[in-house]
Structure 1
Amino acid sequence: MNTTFKTVASSNISISELMLPSHTNFSGKIHGGYILSLLDQIAFACASKFSGNYCVTASVDTVNFLKPIEVGELVTMKACVNYVGNSSMIIGIRVEAENIQTGKIKHCNSSYFTMVAKNKEGKSVAVPGLILSNLNEVRRFYNSLKQIALKKERDYHEEVFDYSSEESLTNIKKYNVQLELKKSK
């Protein structure tokens, strides 16, 4: 068990960037891939700040694009550690876009990244324990526990589900697919 603990607030980090025409996709909105790149950067910074170590992205658990981001808006990303394991951390990130002329702010994205702390040799290292200081932090921690349980359930289902059974192949026909399976030799 870890004897060092740090507050969620000690992990808080935010970045802001003005969205430029070079960040757009073909429909003129800010490209989701560009936002994902910024999300990965802030997740790294947040996890590294909290753990005191180099951190790598283990998984991008959730990325919910809620509203499009426009050219000229000021995007602010706020990140904090929501959960810690032995060497892993779940980083919660909120993305807001502000129309700098009107001051109107919209919530555009919520994301959760699992980051792992590494030493100089690339081995996973222990991270500090987490001090939860308010009920909002407790809520985020419990939501992370639910995310972990759902991920384990999904992984277990993938391992044991027989996709090639007669029942599975019959049931799939109720969806908008057509089976044209080639016989294996």
Structure 2
Amino acid sequence: MNNTFKTVASSYISISELMLPSHTNFSGKIHGGYILSLLDQIAFACASKFSGNYCVTASVDTVNFLKPIEVGELVTMKASVNYVGKSSMIIGIRVEAENIQTGIVKHCNSSYFTMVAKDKQGNSVPVPGLIISNLKEVRRFCNCLKQIALKKERDLHEEIFDYSSIETIESLKKYNVSIELN
């Protein structure tokens, strides 16, 4: 069993990047895929810093795009470990964009990545325990517990749900679908 513990603060990572025209999508806003790439990088850095090991992305649990990001804005991503398991960590990331002329900052994205610590052979390795130092960290940890429970419930539902039942097929008719099974 791993006896070391580290603070949430020891995992803090922050990166800032100016958004360029080359980062845009077809509507002239910053491309979500580009932001996802940056999110994955900071999640890796945060998890690796906390665990002291190479880390891989196990899942992208939540990515909520709240507001569009414009060319010329300074994007800052702040990440911390919100939860630890045996070899896994849930990294919370907040994305803000600042209009550098006006100084106005907007919250653009909140994301949660599950990362797993690995050794040089690719085997999962234990991560340090988490020292929770304030109520904000307690809230974040508890929210991760809820997220994990919901994921388990969803997976169980997937295993036992009968997609081929007449009741299921009939219930779909209230949605915007045309059922034409062969």
Aligned to 2:116: 116
Which whole-Å CA distance do the structure 1 matches of 2:25 and 2:155 have between them?
33
SS at the partner of 2:110?
Answer: strand
Give the CA deviation at 1:95.
0.1
Aligned to 1:104: 104
Which whole-Å CA distance do the structure 2 matches of 1:90 and 1:35 have between them?
18
Aligned to 2:55: 55
Q: Post-superposition, which runs of at least 4 consecutive aligned residues in structure 1 deviate over 4 A?
A: none
Aligned to 2:65: 65
Give the CA deviation at 1:2.
2.6
| Amino acid in the other structure paired with 1:43 | A
Aligned to 2:9: 9
1:24 aligns with 2:28: no
Aligned to 1:145: 145
Aligned to 1:161: 161
What are the superposed Cα offsets for residues 67-114 of structure 1, whole Å, 9 maximum, x if unpaired?
Answer: 000000000000000000000000000000000001110000000000
The runs of 5 or more residues in structure 1 that have no matched partner are none
Which whole-Å CA distance do the structure 2 matches of 1:11 and 1:136 have between them?
15
What are the superposed Cα offsets for residues 33-67 of structure 1, whole Å, 9 maximum, x if unpaired?
Answer: 00000000000000000000000000000000000
Identity %: 86
| Amino acid in the other structure paired with 2:38 | L
TM-score normalised per structure 2? 0.99
Aligned to 1:172: 172
